[in-house]
Structure 1
Amino acid sequence: MRILWLLLPLLPSVYPSFTNNTEDLLWGAYRPNLYFGLRPRLPQSLMTGLVWFGTQNYQSIAKARHACDQGDGLDSYTWTHFDPRQGGVQILQDSQNNVRITTELLKVPGGSHGGGWAARIKGVPIDPMRPSRISTVFYLGLEGIGGVDMVTDESENGIDGPVEFAGSTPDLGDFTLRILEAPGNEAVTTGPLSEDFEERLGKTHVVGLRLPPGQLWTAKGTFPLSENIVARASPIAEKYRSAEQAPDPSFILQLSDDILTASNLFAVQKSFEGEFQFDVFFESASANQTFDGLVQTSTIDQGIAAIVTSFDSHFDETFPIPSSHAADDVTSLKSFSKAITSNLFGGIGYFYGTSIVDKGFAYEWDQDDEIDDENDGDSGARLTEPRALLTATPSRSFFPRGFYWDEGFHLLHIGAWDTELSLEILKDWIKLIDGNGWVAREQILGEEARSRVPEQFQTQVPTFANPPTLTMAVTAIINQFNAAHDGPSAADLGMDYGMGGQMPLAGTLKSTAALDRTAVQSVLREMYKPLKRHYEWFRRTQRGQIKQYGRRARSRTEGYRWRGRSEAHVLTSGMDDYPRGPPHAGELHLDLISWMAFFSRTMKDFAQFIDEEDDAASFAEIELAIINNIDDLHWNEENEMYCDVGIDSDDESTHICHLGYVSLFPFMLSLLPPDSPHLGPILDMLRDPEQLWSEYGIRSLSKSHSEFGQGENYWKGPIWVQINYMVLGALHNTYAREEGPFQEKAKEIYEELRRNVVNNEYQRTGYVWEQYDALTGEGRRSHPFTGWTSLVTLSKHLLSTPRKSSDFQLL
């Protein structure tokens, strides 16, 4: 037995950075929209998935679990440990079917095709005093060039023993996949009319089907797997309609055991009563290894135990809990933090397919002939060429796709754990930037992704932007490298480590210190030109008007507005229904000009790092001009707050002041110096419980605002973790650290806010939510939401006393 081979990837490892070490990232749980689905990071390739349903009645097949759906009513589903390079453990709690299913994944390196993997699916009754009858269907499908066949002999009454498949594709080479049932499983074999079904009871049932290209993702739906089971069961059930007793559903809710010629979708069904377990092994032939003798329970158990040990060790090193936490809090806080970190990683998906783009669409207040000419004047929604993207996702149940404004926050957390993985995701996003510099704010790639998006939101427009958060990941990588090396400090390099400059990430990678600056520069330089093109696109397409309305500002060019807003929403800002003024070509948006200052600072630091000194000087000039204009254009002395700028009924420029997240942006991005006279009023309104302060975090809109909690109430009061994270970052890294008249107040607010945010999260049970109620702190909207809400893991590690820059754990 080659036990060592299986355990090699599970031994504690040094996480690499900026190396060509992505083979162990080829395979993964890259179908996060499913409860458990595996695929490689390849277009049109092998995909697998798990379906299960109860057999306590005939209606249960209509409630089969496959794609994550809040309507399924699962108590919870969470990765307790998950590392994208190694695998992990997920627990699915399904009280409706009285089963707790655990899925375990081990990744096995070797060969030239990304290695192999082993998966274990096991279940136990939640309530041992109640029946637990579960039917599982594990399927594999292949699209594109290549083929797969079932090696095991077919049987019309089911199969005893393992089921094996063999296949081949250009990217994966030759491979085998085997499904083996553990000893001790029990099936439903007794009951009314059991003698009529004796030949099929307790056996594995299969089906092989041919699906059109691009349709494998429909496997569980009305067609084909559920339909196959129902089509076989319906005439049998009809036969017994007049009988005194009906057969047990387990007897007839079975796949048909038909294998069509040239099938590209195979499904393997096993039905159980009580506890169960089965294993799935995928082996790449190029690994020149064999699974013979490696299917023992002890081997898999040892492998999973090694993953857990490795994960725990790396977690403690990367995200240590400060001594300021009470001892009795540490265990529960650590468990919670591991779970939301694991679920962020388990939410990483690989997507491939076309997008829908309308180059000619514009609202009347967005009409701009120059910009329209840039987009060739095309009108009407059209499909693009297929693109590929590795990305984290905000919510497996509700937003299982890539979001531009979410991803920058995701990458801060991912990069703290594994810089190279963060870089791989970032590179895929950078590749999406088109020739004009645009990248869609939602990446809805392919029919599977579009099936989860309302039709009115599927079309993307090349003049619509989103907050440029990807740049946070760029500077975080640079700062992480600088923090790992001796030599000039961040201050010596002229880098501002406020929120706008991004502090070094937690968990500086050991291998980073072994790399020289040239190696890192080489990798980042490939991203510089497209990111610079993206920056120029922002400045060109989102520029606002200053001179036209007699506005006084030190720069006559640096004003910005979000294009693509409607009467009631500014989706492009990321804060959809936050109050704004009436739509007008002359309006200016505070949050966008703040993001552009932040973007300019990032590009300055980026240019300095790759020795583009002329560019760095230019970005520095733009940054200063933008920061000056934030004060000149957006500060309202009467209200003592920063405001949007709009046009009134007399066609005059006026401030549009709505106290909430938008008014905080110059502060949150650390654009204000610590001695700014504007900082005091901002901290006062931040800490005012009648305005933004709550026991659970900072509210998105003032409690005293006339629109607080009104309408759809998305950004009109609810608490959002990523914005609180930005507030904490500004307080901790800048205003509580640097000398100034408000330093002590910033420290006090930071300490209290950090406790409020962390406590509200980890003391709750079940799911992590998209947002939290502004008055009660209760979870609201989509769940689980382990995208940017997982930033609580970073927030809880912020230290009570500011220290030197290389010690900071945030940004």
Structure 2
Amino acid sequence: MAGYGWDEYDVRHGGRQTIHDAGNSIDITTEFVKVPGGQHGGSWGVRIKGIPRDDAPARQFTTLVFYAGMEGFGSLKVSNEQDDLGIEGSVTMAGSSNELGDFTLEITEGPDSNKHPPPTHKSYADKPLDRTFVASLQASDDTMWQAKQLLFTSLKVEIDKMIAEYGAEQAPPPWQTFTIPNDIKEGNLHLVQKVFEGEFEFDVIYSSGSAPPVTSRVLTDAIETATELFTERFSNLLSPKAPFDKPKYQPFSKSMFSNLIGGIGYFYGDAVVDRSYASEYEEENEGFWQETAEARSRVGSIKLEGPSELFTSIPSRPFFPRGFLWDEGFHLIPIADWDMDLTLEIIRSWFNLMDEDGWIGREQILGQEARSKVPQEFQVQYPHYANPPTLFLIFESLIDKLESKSPLKATSDPLEFVRSAHLQDPPTAIAYLRTLYPLLKRHYFWFRKTQWGDIKSYDREAFSSKEAYRWRGRNPTHILTSGLDDYPRPQPPHPGELHVDLISWMGMMTRSMRRIATFISEPEDAREFEGYETAIIRNIDDLHWDSNEKTYCDATIDEYEESVHVCHKGYISIFPFLTGLLPADSPRLGAILDLIADEETLWSPFGLRSLSKADPNYGTKEDYWRSPIWMNINYLAVKALLDLAQAQGPHKARATRLYTELRKILVQNVFDNWERTGFAWEQYNAETGLGQRTQHFTGWTSLVVKIMRMPDLSKGEIRDEL
């Protein structure tokens, strides 16, 4: 692939997706739109177009297979009459279910300009390629998602027949051989195949029985409208600002955002959970990680729970098609600017997963299909494991927008009243937060109960004897629960550890809870959270600031049973700054900015690296969070620098310079990689800037869109829409 993904997309109207299939010398465009109407969610349509690439052969043959299946109760059948030679014209399926009512699904023949491979083999008489092939299958619910394998099985049967009849030496050409059988019958899964020569186009149209039928002409109009509405909305809300307000950045910015919002999906199924509550999972003994590993190996502690459902924005459609708790908060930062109602529905879906104790699984691997993409050792979720509470960043964004009282920009979108209902009418936002508030409190106090850190046992001096935190789920090489997987931590692991990134997240979470309680008029709760917040901020300095290293560090217990700092300079060193817990006049800020700006530590020509070049662990072993540049943490850094640049204080001028330069190099590097490879990447190499690990990673890497939208302080622009 030379690249693929949405060029423009909005979940409420639709958009355009392009697949640059270099291996098959074809560019395929799918234009998907929703057509509202009726009582069952309306109708939709997809227009599929193919254009041979410049290096395509003179006679380019392409085959496409569309399939539709009905899971659970309901019916789906091909309603066309099949003649001896195949299907004439369009293929129409008729279906019905409790959720969808009656509907039809039409796969059109397309315009007269479509061409098909001519007869070149005597097998053409039995399977003429100017007809559409349809094969009906009966699939169980647990195999329906394996439609690709079912297709290949069907193809192999036909290939074997061809070889048996004509012999390997006289076999038909590939475009004739690789075709499904014409076999229409009762079934719940129907494969539809077309074979084209050169350019092609056809439509797939779903018409709800409770709404007027959709035609190709209606689809054409809907596609034009969807493009117009997307262009207008993007220009108003997310169009890049200087120096990225040049034409070349527009397709890039639109694509990055469209793939982020186009990664929203609905997931349903059971999850693998270990609720044995073995004492070893308390992680309070030295050598606890060994006890934990032994406890995990016991038979019978792992069970399937659910089914559950989740509405979520995923990191990568092809590689990580499931919900990640800490990723979600970052995903929703740009989406909240685009569609607050959609954002809040996703958040509600996550909190509806919470158990009675307040736990939400950090990875939502729901059902067999989702588990097929995850190594077995990572599938089990543990109810004492946390993940950074980034969803609380979105609650603060909501309150910021409401408190700013900025007038909403006029739009011609007929669904604007839905998208912005919570912003236009504060009582609606208050009602939403009040409904969710008991779950938010339960989740917050679950964090305090399960991720607490030990101050008293080791005679640590701190403002508060309670505000300290430690990630559970630790072993000598990883803390997956922190999100910073292999970032170096104190060795060996110790139950007396304290983690500076976690206490910073807890400070942000507490601030958010205070603001929510204030906004919904819960003054007693607000005062309680304010007390926790003050204690956390004081304890960050008391427990984690190292005056010799001039940075924030994790703490552990040494062989003399004394508390000591372990300082691996990198992302965790600046977490109190990243989470907005340091005031503009903090005496720590000068050293923090020194660390950020130091080319031997965090600063690189392409963004802030995850670990200092001077650290002996730099670039070692897995090297996941031990050197690469990550967009989510860099976004937090850019935003924190912007906040500092726009506040009155001794570091205003320096913060402005660092913000301007960091914003520029981050955007330019992601853009250069996208232009060169056709993809966004999971992370970027700190030495070369090259994208690496997972390609088509359009989750938090899409935060580049938000960074491009930030003000250009080199021209004195005021704070706007942050």
TM value normalised by structure 1:
0.83
What is the Cα deviation at residue 239 of structure 1?
Answer: 2.5
What is the Cα deviation at residue 364 of structure 1?
Answer: 4.7
Residue in structure 2 matching 1:525, options 419, 428, 434: 434
Match of residue 191 from structure 2: 267
Match of residue 257 from structure 1: 182
Alignment partner of 2:154: what SS? helix
Residue in structure 2 matching 1:313, options 223, 229, 232: 232
Amino acid at match of 1:121: I
Match of residue 290 from structure 1: 213
Match of residue 339 from structure 1: 255
Match of residue 278 from structure 1: 202
Matches within 5 A, 1:590-609: 590-609=500-519
What is the Cα deviation at residue 360 of structure 1?
Answer: 2.5
* Per-residue Cα deviation, 1:329-374 (whole angstroms, up to 9, x for no partner): 61111211100000001111110000000013669584369xx9xx
What is the Cα deviation at residue 318 of structure 1?
Answer: 0.2
* Per-residue Cα deviation, 1:132-168 (whole angstroms, up to 9, x for no partner): 2211111110111211111111345421111111111
Match of residue 167 from structure 2: 241
Distance in 1, matches of 2:201 and 2:632, equals: 39
Amino acid at match of 2:228: T
Identity value in percent: 44
Say yes or no: does 1:146 pair with 2:65.
Answer: no
Q: Any conservation in 1 of the 2:339–2:419 contact (CA below 8 Å)?
A: no
Distance in 1, matches of 2:135 and 2:447, equals: 52
* Per-residue Cα deviation, 1:215-235 (whole angstroms, up to 9, x for no partner): 2110002xx111011112212
Residue in structure 2 matching 1:793, options 696, 705, 708: 705
Match of residue 332 from structure 2: 411
Distance in 2, matches of 1:519 and 1:462, equals: 33
What is the Cα deviation at residue 675 of structure 1?
Answer: 1.4
Residue in structure 2 matching 1:456, options 364, 374, 377: 377
CA distance change for structure 1 residues 356 and 163 in 2, over 3 Å: closer, same or farther? same
Root-mean-square deviation (Å): 2.3
Q: Any conservation in 1 of the 2:162–2:171 contact (CA below 8 Å)?
A: no
Distance in 2, matches of 1:143 and 1:514, equals: 38
Q: Any conservation in 2 of the 1:194–1:251 contact (CA below 8 Å)?
A: no
What is the Cα deviation at residue 196 of structure 1?
Answer: 5.2
TM value normalised by structure 2:
0.93
Q: Any conservation in 2 of the 1:403–1:442 contact (CA below 8 Å)?
A: yes
Residue in structure 2 matching 1:703, options 613, 628, 635: 613
Residue in structure 2 matching 1:121, options 48, 67, 74: 48
Distance in 1, matches of 2:459 and 2:506, equals: 22
Residue in structure 2 matching 1:717, options 627, 635, 641: 627
Q: Any conservation in 2 of the 1:366–1:564 contact (CA below 8 Å)?
A: no
Say yes or no: does 1:186 pair with 2:115.
Answer: yes
CA distance change for structure 1 residues 459 and 361 in 2, over 3 Å: closer, same or farther? farther
Alignment partner of 2:247: what SS? helix
Match of residue 394 from structure 2: 473
Amino acid at match of 2:156: V
Alignment partner of 1:707: what SS? coil
Matches within 5 A, 1:568-647: 568-581=477-490, 582-647=492-557
Distance in 2, matches of 1:330 and 1:477, equals: 30
CA distance change for structure 1 residues 805 and 667 in 2, over 3 Å: closer, same or farther? farther
Q: Any conservation in 1 of the 2:76–2:95 contact (CA below 8 Å)?
A: yes
Q: Any conservation in 1 of the 2:341–2:421 contact (CA below 8 Å)?
A: no
Distance in 2, matches of 1:744 and 1:125, equals: 53
Match of residue 100 from structure 1: 27
What stretches of structure 1 of length at least 5 have no aligned partner? 1-73, 487-506
What is the Cα deviation at residue 508 of structure 1?
Answer: 12
Distance in 2, matches of 1:549 and 1:85, equals: 55
Say yes or no: does 1:400 pair with 2:321.
Answer: yes
Distance in 1, matches of 2:524 and 2:104, equals: 55
What stretches of structure 2 of length at least 5 have no aligned partner? 286-291, 293-297, 408-415
Matches within 5 A, 1:676-691: 676-691=586-601
Alignment partner of 2:570: what SS? coil
Distance in 2, matches of 1:645 and 1:363, equals: 24
Q: Any conservation in 2 of the 1:484–1:512 contact (CA below 8 Å)?
A: no
Alignment partner of 2:603: what SS? coil
Distance in 1, matches of 2:405 and 2:180, equals: 56
CA distance change for structure 1 residues 185 and 137 in 2, over 3 Å: closer, same or farther? same
What is the Cα deviation at residue 515 of structure 1?
Answer: 3.7
Alignment partner of 1:665: what SS? helix
Distance in 1, matches of 2:168 and 2:466, equals: 82
Amino acid at match of 1:798: M
Distance in 2, matches of 1:398 and 1:452, equals: 7
What is the Cα deviation at residue 482 of structure 1?
Answer: 2.4
CA distance change for structure 1 residues 378 and 679 in 2, over 3 Å: closer, same or farther? farther
Q: Any conservation in 2 of the 1:107–1:117 contact (CA below 8 Å)?
A: yes
CA distance change for structure 1 residues 197 and 251 in 2, over 3 Å: closer, same or farther? farther
* Per-residue Cα deviation, 1:4-60 (whole angstroms, up to 9, x for no partner): xxxxxxxxxxxxxxxxxxxxxxxxxxxxxxxxxxxxxxxxxxxxxxxxxxxxxxxxx
CA distance change for structure 1 residues 624 and 339 in 2, over 3 Å: closer, same or farther? same
